[in-house]
Amino acid sequence: MMENIHSETYSLLIDTYIKEPAQRTYLFNAIETIPCIRKKADWAIRWIQDKDSSFAQRLVAFAAVEGIFFSGAFASIFWLKKRGLMPGLTFSNELISRDEGLHTDFACLLHSHLKGRASKQMIQDIITDAVTIEQEFLTEALPCALLGMNSDLMKQYIEFVADRLLVALGNEKVYKATNPFDFMENISLGGKTNFFEKRVADYQKAGVLHSATKKTEEDESPKGENGGDFTFDEDF
């Protein structure tokens, strides 16, 4: 269900931004028309359908798809956000990247609870293979350098993301790369926004809205030491 919403969102964005029908059809059918995207899809499908691989191995591949195959595209859209461009695209991307991050975290957590985990060598082989495919995709997706972003920096970022994923899966770092994009460091901070202007892209803290009740003049007597219902644990 969640992935269907993601697909619908990207489809609506393509409809909005791409006016040329032929180009729109080309992008809608990217899995067939763009070889590097087809290669990513084939890699994912191979692991999904591989009956000879254990559940743990396929779970690691799932983590690679969610954590590596999306990271480059997400970074390029956050690059637009840093420059204040295309707010509709960047906000929807925040929501989707949040979901994909949860999927990656879930895969790593589930793998840590398995009795028959994938071997460290197998984990490394799967992740490094995914990195190679994603770097090939980004080389084609960024044929020319932009201000603060190019294919070399993006390759470095993919290696940085892969190292973090390897550590989350219980392995050692392979690439020992640093994050070349400062704006990707900032997305880990809590999202704050003007409440009257737009929504925050973070998940709502449980119970915050539920606890907000209307007060009448009769029950406006001071409560507690702070003189009311105000607490410091609510997310403003």
**Over the Cα atoms of the chain, what is R_g?**
22
Residue 163, exposed/middle/buried by CB under 10 A (0-12, 13-18, 19+)? Answer: buried
Residue 186: pLDDT band with limits 50, 70, 90: low
Tell me whether residue 10 is one of the annotated catalytic residues: yes
CB 92 within 8 A of CB 9: yes
Catalytic residue of the set 10, 17, 26, 175: 10
Give residue 108's pLDDT. 96
pLDDT digits (tens, 9 = 90+) for 13-45: 888 888 899 998 998 898 899 998 999 999 999
Is residue 127 within 8 Å of residue 64, measured between CB atoms? yes
Q: Where are the domains of the chain?
A: 34-202
Q: How crowded is the C-beta side of 15, counted as CA atoms within 13 Å?
A: 6
The CATH number of the structural domain formed by 34-202 is 1.10.620.20
Per-residue pLDDT band for 11 (boundaries 50, 70, 90) equals confident
Q: What confidence tens digit (pLDDT) does each residue in 67-105 have?
A: 999 888 888 888 888 888 888 888 888 888 888 888 899
When comparing pLDDT for 193 and 117, which is higher?
117
